[in-house]
Chains A and B, each alone.
Chain A
């Protein structure tokens, strides 16, 4: 008992404020009393010591401990009713610890990956899950529903993400990849940097696919086909890595010729418009002509039907009607001398008519 307490006191000395500075006399608590001396580097007078506690050589920590011991029941750990407060504290702490580290609430979009001493021990579904407490089991929550997006290239005019097509042309492509986590344990344990991996795989897959199509397909009709094939290639690669990732889809946001050659591409669409307008003109001409022909033919048919009923009369009627119309509007001169070709002062006639009308 004594031996033990002696050790305790020596230990206690470590916690004591070292009377007389760091290089002061080490034997403060052991021998008691003297404390500072001439060896003190700063020559602090020993008077500066704190006032001693209950007994001359007991330090403040000793003092405190002793007092607490007394408060907790005379230095004994009592059994039964009078348990010391810190035991209660420890108990409560342990209970809270158990509660917080062994009960896990997993949200509906999450999965909890349990590792027991680091070893994968299963995946918890949504709801409340129980595990062993903290140092044994640990749970990592992973959101498996969230669709994450990675953008590659941008639709800004300032930056270009140039890709070679199969016919050795160049396009400026911007696209995004949507993915989510399929198997959380694979996602956590299999690949060092999943996001970066997906980005690289996407870029590589996109370039491989675009390298197999022509420029016209890449900027036009082939887009959705490219999207599908890239998603397929990516899924294949990620499955090969066992990355636990599901590629939901690839969306091409922009697929244009590079800015440097854009004018030439605009020329093509201008030519297409121009050609279209040529065709439209021709078609409208054709429509007009056909309609006119049909109309005239129909009119002739009607008159002809009439004519057939009474050819002689109809012909004469038409002749006179037309002549009437024609001759009533024009100047007429009738020359009565047969066999003579007279000199006709035509300008004279005109002048006369003009005078006639003016009068």
Chain B
């Protein structure tokens, strides 16, 4: 028979192709990144490579899987962490401040069977989670003042949102890994403008206070210098006030009548002396 077969390559090729088809539809390669739901005529039979927490790769159910050809079909479901992103939303805080919030949630399908029954595809799970993420966020943020968004309290808030979201996600066989606010901005227009205005005035105030401080410091420095100079003078001249008086008078005459040290033109001086002046004592013959 084999020999007969060998004589007819066409027959051989057909048998080979048929075999390949049967083998191909019997065995399936389940990669690490997917979970497989085996469905017989639309009825789920078993799950291959189901996600288990703390399971190392290599220990998972991934690998070769067999099924009844043509009868059982495999529905592939992602095993990795998936992301659902919320559209930007305006949220009103308790102190009536508007905020533009943008958040994302990460989830994983932990119950492929539920997910297959309830949603069918990952896309539909995302679509179902998205509005709920939005409303959970609005609820949670609406209970708090604006400042709480910028505080460590934010962590608690995120946990609450995650819990709320998880309740819904579980119905779709998914589990929320993480919810995070990506952006929280003031909306364009009045809120942003008034924030800018506040920043501007705060800066102007700062500028003025810096100037005033500078002036104050400068004055203190000058006064300190004056005081120091005075004390230097006092220390030196205090040794003999009488001589200082004389010494300074001499300097002063010179400056006043001859040059004032600045090189500026000075008024002409005329001096009228009485012969009894001390300077002229000898002039008059020492009377």
Contact = CB atoms under 8 A, between A and B. Distances in A.
Interface residues of A, number: 110
Interface in B171-209: 177-178, 180-186, 192, 195-196, 198-204, 206-208
Contact of A189 (B33, B204, B221, B236): B33
Contacts, number: 295
B285 interface: no
Contacts of A359: none
A224 interface: no
Interface string B199-233: 11111101110110111011111101110111011
B261 to A, nearest CB: 12
A8 B202 CA distance: 95
Interface residues of B, number: 101
B62 interface: yes
Given A4-B4, A118-B31, A307-B243, A271 B58 contact: no
B254 to A, nearest CB: 6
A110 B30 CA distance: 25
User: Among the interface residues B185, B233, B243, B268, which one has the most CB atoms of the partner chain A within 10 A?
Assistant: B243
A147 to B, nearest CB: 23
Contacts of B62: 115, 117-120
Contacts of B229: 289-290, 292-293
Contact of B210 (A165, A275, A327): A275
A3 B215 CA distance: 117
Nearest to B147: A168
* Chain A interface helix/strand/loop/mixed: helix
A294 interface: yes
User: Among the interface residues A11, A12, A261, which one has the most CB atoms of the partner chain B within 10 A?
Assistant: A261
B218 A207 contact: no
A259 B254 CA distance: 63
B269 A122 contact: no
User: Among the interface residues A7, A268, A283, A311, which one has the most CB atoms of the partner chain B within 10 A?
Assistant: A268
Given A11-B10, A170-B186, A331 B269 contact: yes
A289 B83 contact: no
A4 B8 contact: yes
B287 to A, nearest CB: 11
B41 interface: no
A156 B67 CA distance: 58
Contacts of B81: 190-192, 197, 241
22 contacts: A4-B8, A119-B30, A119-B32, A120-B60, A122-B58, A168-B146, A168-B147, A169-B199, A241-B81, A260-B196, A261-B203, A264-B199, A270-B207, A274-B211, A285-B222, A287-B225, A300-B236, A300-B237, A319-B246, A331-B269, A333-B271, A344-B272
**Cβ-closest 6 pairs across A and B:** A275-B214, A286-B225, A297-B236, A282-B218, A293-B229, A271-B207
